[in-house]
Structures are given as C-alpha cells and as structure tokens.
Structure 1
Amino acid sequence: MLFATTPPEAKRRALREALRSGRLLRFPGAFSPLVAMLIERLGFDGVYISGAVLSADLGLPDVGLTTLTEVAWRSRQIARVTGLPAIVDIDTGFGEVLNVARTVQELEEMGLAGCHLEDQVNPKRCGHLDHKALVPVEEMERKVRAAVQARRDPNFLIIARTDARGVEGLEAAIERARAYVAAGADMIFPEALQSEEEFAAFRKALPDVPLLANMTEFGKSPLLSAERLEALGYNLVIYPVTGLRLAMKAVEEGFRHLLEAGTQEALLDRMQTRKELYELLQYERYTVFDQNVYNFRLEETTSSSENQ
C-alpha cells in the first residue's frame, strides 16, 4: 500500500547478499509502478528501469534526451511500490563528473538500489545499434570514481557499462571493464556481446567481478536462457524492454480490433479484469485508513454488461 514496507537500505542490503549467493538474479523491466508490483507478485528478484523504455514512454528516441529530474522521479515512483530492489539506467550520467555525483545522491534519496553508467559519448544511442562512440577510458574512470565517492550508502550498487565490444572489439571491452573495476565499480555490464562464447570470455577474464547480462530482444546478443547464463557464471540478467514490447503489441492489436469492430466485447478474455487489477493494487487493504474505500463486491465475469 502507498509505499513498500521494506526501506531502501534493506533493499540494497538484500541485493548485495543475493549477488553473493551464486545464483542468477532476474530483473524484468518495469515501465510503470503497476508493472513493478506485478514483477514482485510473480516472484522475480528485482526491478529494472530502462532508459530506453522511459524515453519511448515519453515519445522520444533513446539518444540522451531525458533529464535527471525525469528519470529520478519516474524511478522513485516505481521503486516506492515494491519491496524488491530496483536498479536504473542513467545513460552517461546526465553530464560530466559532478553531474554523475549528483545523480547518484538523487537516486539514493529516491529509494533506488543501484544504477548503471555507460562509456558512450553523449548523445548516446541504444547499445545494440551501430556507429556508437566512446569516451576515453580516463573520462569514464573519473565518472565511476565520482559515483562511488558520492554515494552515502555503501550498498548502493555502482554498475559500469561498457559499449566497447561494438566499437573497439572484445579485448578492448575487457580491458575497459578492468579499468572500471579498478576505479571502484561494483559490477560490470558488457553491452551487446555477440555470442555465448563472448559471454563466457568476459566471465573468464573477470573471474571475481559481478557481471550483468542484457537479454534484450532484436539486438546483437543471443537470447540465452536463465539456466545458461547462470551456468556461465553471470550474476544478474535484465529484460529491459520485454514488458513494453508485449504491452504495446497487445494494445495495438486490441485498438485495431476496436476500430474495426466498434466494440471491445470480443477482447474481454484477453484483458486483466477489474477484480484482478484491484487485487494487484491491494485495494481492499486501504480500508485500514477509510472503511468506505472498499465497500463494494466484485464479481468475476466475462460479460460486458456486468462490472469489470
């Protein structure tokens, strides 16, 4: 209700402990607080907040147009409703070294458990597109150090993402990752690896460093199963755009039908019912504040003439 009962500090501790467990943690992308609540109900390990998804939700391409204020506020809305740890994409840090430091402190205040910072030149682009450009290693090292120095909670997770695989090659990406770890990064996110062998090579090169795998659809990386990623030694996997893609395709198909048929009657069995929505929202529990909030009875039905 209202806010999750688990405080942010406890979520961060739980994430750190889970990363030491040796099992793969699964973080689907949440494009809204309601989706984050569903992720928790289904039994996932955490919530991921994608910069690409937030941009798309605003009707913008993923080229660094979103601001710290927009990302931090949306992240806060998502993180507050779930007891799971939430990590967020901060692109290139919304500016230079000082901006990165402020970003980390803002996100801590907003209840996030961690963030990832990438080594692209701004304006950045999706990590699975061609013709990316990278900042010098030294510049990214300064940003990583600033992020580490700025956090107040030592359990706030600083993840360094490198996009070097598609620009400088696999070995250069590994060398950049080592430099970012030396600068203080807690975890490495090697973006757009192109084969299972490359995922394995990254783990072999950094045997003691937590690694994040990005299983985004329609990209350069093969869609490896959770079981395979765990066997390869990865610690955390994100599914950043899966929920948005599923939702938008369902909305598109539903609205096409509505336009053609003039009624949504035939779509009811594909919808979340009112009862299911209210259960997810924990609507009934709000009577602890006001007995008149939930003073009705919901019937599960597929008839358009009855309460849905």
Structure 2
Amino acid sequence: MLHGNPAPGYGQRLREEIATPGATPLIGVYDMYSASIAAEHYHGMFVSGFGFAASYYGLPDIGFIAWPDMVAFVERLRGAFPRHHLLVDIDDGYVDPEVACHVVRRLERIGASGVILEDLEKLNQVLANRTDLVVVARTDATEEADILRRAEALAETEADVVLVDGVRSEEWIRRIRKVVGDKPLLFNQIAGGKSPRLSLSELAGLGVDVAIYSTPCLFAAHRAMDEALAGLKVADGRLPAPAGESRQIGVRESTELLERNIAHPRAREAVRA
C-alpha cells in the first residue's frame, strides 16, 4: 500500500472542485476493496457511515461506530489513494464536542478532504478546530418547517456545504436552494430512499453542487454475492465456467486491481484514463 506524507490542502482541493460548474460526485465506499474499484471510475470517495457499520461491524448504522475505527480506515484509504477526494461521515461527532474536535483534527492530519457533521450544537466548535478540512453541515430533520429552518441556520454558519435530509421532490430542492442562498448544497443519493433519482446534470440544473452516492458499492456487492452463492449451491458446489465474452472476475483480475494500490499513483490514473 502506498504511504508517505500527504500533499497539503486536501480540503482546499475539494473546495475548489465543488466551486467548479456541475455537481461533484463522491462514491460511497465501505472497505479497501470497494474503494479500489471505485477509484477506477471516480476521483472522489464518500466514507459512508451506513456502509462502514455494515462492513466493519455487521450492524446497522444506529450509533455503533467507534471513532478510532473510522479514523484508522480513513488513514488506510489516504495511504492507498493519495489523489482522491475523501469525504467522511462522522455522524453526530461521537457524542461530546471535545471528541468531535479531536476526531476532526485527526482526520485533517491524516489527509481527509472533509467531514459531514449532523450535530448543530457541535458545529461551531468543529469549525473553529479545522484549518483546511471541508465541513458539511447536515440538517438531520424530517418535518418540512424544521428542514427549512435548520437549512437556513446552517447556511449562516461558516460551514462550507449544507446537506439537507428529507428531500422528497425536485420542488423541495428548489426551495432549499433558495433558503441556503449562495452556500454550496449537497444531495444524498441512496438506493431505496425517498429522494428522487436524478442525474448529475439534473442536479446541477437544480443548483446542487455535490452528490454523494452512499451505497452503490455495498448494495451491488450484496446482490452479486447472494446470486453467486445461490448459484454455487444449485450447482452442488461446482464453480461456473467462464462466462464467454462477459466480464469475468478471477484471481488475475482481482490481483491486478489490488497491485495498483502498491504502484505509483499515476499507474491508476493511466488505467482510468
């Protein structure tokens, strides 16, 4: 795995990308393998609390994540992917304001690009403790009046980006865009959620600056593993024959993917180009 001192300004690099025209996509990853595949296709990753809780603990995302585990995972990610944006979900900041600030400082030192924080009360302290890190303030509300009230309050802080929960329609995106003014807006795309399924072009047209895709890798892996093992059971344990011209993943393909994590980072860029 590629290690070394991270280049300075990861937060500023993400901030500049967000400021460019269009909606910036960040793909949810849950372990090093999913990150290795995501890195072949996109330049930004989102460390999803949902995916990490599922992968690391085998539990739902309802408060089981310990911050040292999350920090250690982000450190491994940064070592392998020194040129990718890394936005990290830190939920409510892990209970105490002091802990939230400590985690933010640790993440910034190891090269995270930004964090998502749900707790409004901790937000100002976290903002005061970051130097470069992008801070996304999340509303964590479900009632319409509360959503708009919190979005407006977050837009008045020094947070870099606002993430609004409970978006049910394009009209709601327009209303939220108006409330947050010039502050960059983030939209969460999650399969099975209640928010509309929109393309990056459609989101950009609605004034959305960042789109996080929380679970495409996790849910795709779930389905693929379930289907592979069901097929193995039906075949009495016989591995399937190569699938003709369709893409076949075996030892060689998997090893080649992982070897790119110990090669010079430009090797991965050459593959993706």
TM-score bin, normalised by smaller chain: 0.7 to 0.9
Separation in 1 of the partners of 2:152 and 2:247?
48
Q: Is the 8 A contact 2:151 2:176 kept in 1?
A: no
1:227 Cα deviation from its structure 2 partner: 1.1
Say if 2:26 is the partner of 1:13: no
Residues 41-61 of structure 1: per-residue CA shift (max 9 Å, x gap): 22x231001001111112111
Separation in 2 of the partners of 1:103 and 1:62?
19
Superposition map of 1:196-215 within 5 A: 196-215=170-189
For 2:127, which of 148, 157, 171 is the aligned residue?
148
Counterpart of 1:53? Answer: 51
**Letter of the structure 1 residue corresponding to residue 80 of structure 2:** V
Separation in 2 of the partners of 1:254 and 1:40?
24
Counterpart of 2:270? Answer: none
SS at match of 1:265: coil
Separation in 2 of the partners of 1:221 and 1:283?
36
Structure with max Cα Rg: 1
1:174 Cα deviation from its structure 2 partner: 2.3
Q: Is the 8 A contact 1:86 1:113 kept in 2?
A: yes
Q: Is the 8 A contact 2:12 2:134 kept in 1?
A: no
Separation in 1 of the partners of 2:10 and 2:185?
19
Counterpart of 1:137? Answer: none
Separation in 2 of the partners of 1:232 and 1:190?
14
Say if 2:214 is the partner of 1:240: yes
**Letter of the structure 1 residue corresponding to residue 179 of structure 2:** A
For 2:138, which of 146, 161, 164 is the aligned residue?
161
RMSD: 2.2
SS at match of 2:26: strand
Gaps of 5+ in 1: 120-139, 288-308
Give TM-score, length-normalised by structure 2: 0.87
Counterpart of 1:118? Answer: 118
Separation in 2 of the partners of 1:143 and 1:118?
9
Counterpart of 2:31? Answer: 32
SS at match of 1:106: helix
Counterpart of 2:238? Answer: 263
Separation in 1 of the partners of 2:231 and 2:206?
44
The verdict on how the C-alpha distance between 1:285 and 1:174 changes in structure 2, with shifts beyond 3 A counting, is closer
Separation in 2 of the partners of 1:10 and 1:101?
19
For 1:229, which of 185, 203, 207 is the aligned residue?
203
Separation in 2 of the partners of 1:238 and 1:180?
19
Residues 103-147 of structure 1: per-residue CA shift (max 9 Å, x gap): 21121123211110114xxxxxxxxxxxxxxxxxxxx2x311111
Q: Is the 8 A contact 2:22 2:200 kept in 1?
A: no
**Letter of the structure 1 residue corresponding to residue 192 of structure 2:** F
Gaps of 5+ in 2: 265-273
The verdict on how the C-alpha distance between 1:61 and 1:8 changes in structure 2, with shifts beyond 3 A counting, is farther
The verdict on how the C-alpha distance between 1:281 and 1:143 changes in structure 2, with shifts beyond 3 A counting, is same
For 2:257, which of 280, 285, 289 is the aligned residue?
280
Counterpart of 1:96? Answer: 96
Counterpart of 1:290? Answer: none
1:160 Cα deviation from its structure 2 partner: 0.7
Q: Is the 8 A contact 2:101 2:129 kept in 1?
A: yes
Count of residues in correspondence between the two structures: 259
The verdict on how the C-alpha distance between 1:145 and 1:40 changes in structure 2, with shifts beyond 3 A counting, is same
Separation in 2 of the partners of 1:172 and 1:286?
49
Q: Is the 8 A contact 1:254 1:267 kept in 2?
A: no
Separation in 1 of the partners of 2:72 and 2:103?
12
Q: Is the 8 A contact 2:10 2:113 kept in 1?
A: yes
**Letter of the structure 2 residue corresponding to residue 28 of structure 1:** I
